[in-house]
């Protein structure tokens, strides 16, 4: 994936400072997978979603895609440490992320659906209803799988040199 400097600048403009808030700083402290923070994860999903939309000319609204992708995991807790909803995190966190985001920002229906449906088909009845929501639903799975594989590699590396 290669985005141009102009595209990166465009993405930052479209985020309207969402990535510079106190909550975004908190997301840097929560671990998503391995050593990847929730912030790093959502930024990966933003960049890959934008890239896929542009390069494949899918025609999703860039602004909604970027904002929805950034907020898709706005649940604001460390899911490895929470008693609840830790085990059921996968199912519950889109709803929590949506509530958190709606308390702070005016979201379009497309942005709301991006957040609510990103775990589909796990969340059976919360279905992606736009191109942007389908893109985020797909890129979230790609990024999560990549992060999980990297985590396993890291663990194997540690084990092979006698750690853990």
Interacting residues with Fe ion (CB under 5 A): 73, 140
To Fe ion, the closest distance from the beta carbon of 60 in angstroms equals 17
Tokens of 118: 């990103």
To Fe ion, the closest distance from the beta carbon of 93 in angstroms equals 6
Alpha helices in the chain (DSSP H): 5-15, 22-27, 38-55, 62-71, 89-104, 109-117, 131-160
To Fe ion, the closest distance from the beta carbon of 85 in angstroms equals 12
Cβ closest to Fe ion, residue 64 vs residue 140? 140
Cβ closest to Fe ion, residue 6 vs residue 115? 115
Contact 54, 46 (CB under 8 A): no
Q: 8-12 contacts: CB < 8 A, separation 24 or more?
A: 10/62, 11/46, 11/47, 11/50, 11/66
Cβ closest to Fe ion, residue 82 vs residue 157? 82
Q: Backbone dihedral region of 128: left (phi > 0), alpha (psi from -120 to 50 degrees) or beta?
A: beta
To Fe ion, the closest distance from the beta carbon of 10 in angstroms equals 22
Cβ closest to Fe ion, residue 42 vs residue 157? 42
To Fe ion, the closest distance from the beta carbon of 139 in angstroms equals 9
Orientation angle between helical segments 62-71 and 131-160, nearest 10 degrees: 40
Cβ closest to Fe ion, residue 62 vs residue 73? 73
Sequence length of the chain is 164
The alpha carbons of the chain give a radius of gyration, in whole angstroms, of: 16
């Amino acid at each position: 994936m290669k985005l141009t400097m102009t595209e990166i600048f465009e993405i930052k403009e479209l985020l309207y400072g969402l990535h510079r808030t106190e909550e975004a700083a908190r997301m840097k402290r929560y671990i998503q997978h391995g050593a990847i923070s929730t912030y790093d994860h959502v930024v990966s999903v933003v960049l890959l979603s934008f890239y896929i939309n542009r390069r494949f000319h899918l025609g999703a609204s860039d602004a909604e895609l970027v904002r929805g992708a950034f907020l898709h995991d706005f649940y604001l807790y460390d899911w490895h440490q929470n008693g609840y909803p830790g085990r059921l995190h996968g199912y519950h966190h889109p709803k929590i992320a949506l509530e958190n985001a709606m308390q702070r920002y005016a979201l379009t229906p497309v942005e709301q659906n991006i957040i609510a449906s990103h775990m589909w088909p796990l969340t059976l009845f919360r279905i992606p209803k736009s191109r942007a929501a389908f893109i985020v639903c797909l890129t979230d799975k790609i990024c999560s799988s990549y992060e999980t594989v990297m985590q396993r590699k890291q663990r194997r590396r540690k084990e092979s040199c006698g750690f853990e």
